[in-house]
Amino acid sequence: MVTQVSSSRHAPWEISQESDTLRKAGLKVTLPRVKILGVLAGREREHLTAEEVYQRLQAAGEDLGLATVYRVLTQFQEAQIVLRHHFVGDRAVFELNSGIDHDHVVCVDCGRVDEFKDRTVERRLTDVAAVSGYEALGHSLVVYGRCPECAQSPRSATPLV
């Protein structure tokens, strides 16, 4: 049996799915960018702060500084491969821009973010815009509340909103 040996001079991380995404966005493929994109492109759709991205990298043994994480996330945002949200206070969270529009439910106590998609709500918003003579192109909807965990514990004295 013949084993195909890649003749590519690229390091393994340069031929990952993350590196593809970077190239398509017109960004140079660098190790920090691949690693940070990898965190955001995890198994579950997540909305992470820069600090959380940094902590995950640390936990995985990656030696990237918080300043680098901030800088790369800003580059990603400019290249539109991630979205930045300010749901509660000045806490910014980032998520992969998958092109699928969805809405968010946010916990005012802990900042947890969940996603939802509701066709009825979307239709209503289109109708609402039409009443004012607008053709709806998109929307952004955030429902604020308390997540199941926070609902069970005593109310925090200072909600994030």
Residue 85 counted as an annotated binding residue: no
- The least CB distance from residue 111 to Zn ion, in Å, is 7
Work out whether 147 is an interface residue with Zn ion (CB under 5 A): yes
Nearer to Zn ion, 101 or 127 (CB): 101
Residue 90 Cα to chain centre, angstroms: 16
Query: Which residue's CB is nearer to Zn ion, number 141 or number 147?
Result: 147
CB-based burial of residue 135 (10 Å sphere; 0-12 exposed, 13-18 middle, 19+ buried)? exposed
Residue 12 vs 145, nearer CB to Zn ion: 145
Q: Cα(49)–Cα(87) distance, rounded to whole angstroms?
A: 11
Per-residue mark of binding to Zn ion, 101-140 (x: CB under 5 A): ------x-xx-x--x-------------------------
Please give the residues from 83 up to 102 whose contact with Zn ion meets the rule CB under 5 A: 95
- Contact assessment for residue 95 and residue 40, using Cβ atoms and an 8 Å cutoff: yes
DSSP assignments along 33-91, one per residue: HHHHHHHHTSSS---B-HHHHHHHHHHTT----HHHHHHHHHHHHHTTSEEEEEEETTE
- Identify the residue whose tokens are 């084993």: 3
> By rule CB under 5 A, what string of x and - marks binding of each residue 67-86 to Zn ion?
--------------------
Q: What are 138's two structure tokens?
A: 């998109």
- Cite the annotated binding site for Fe cation by residue number: 103, 122, 139
Residues comprising the binding site for Zn(2+)? 107, 110, 147, 150
Which residues of this protein are in contact with Zn ion, per CB under 5 A? 95, 107, 109-110, 112, 115, 147, 150
Residues contributing to the annotated binding site:
103, 107, 110, 122, 139, 147, 150
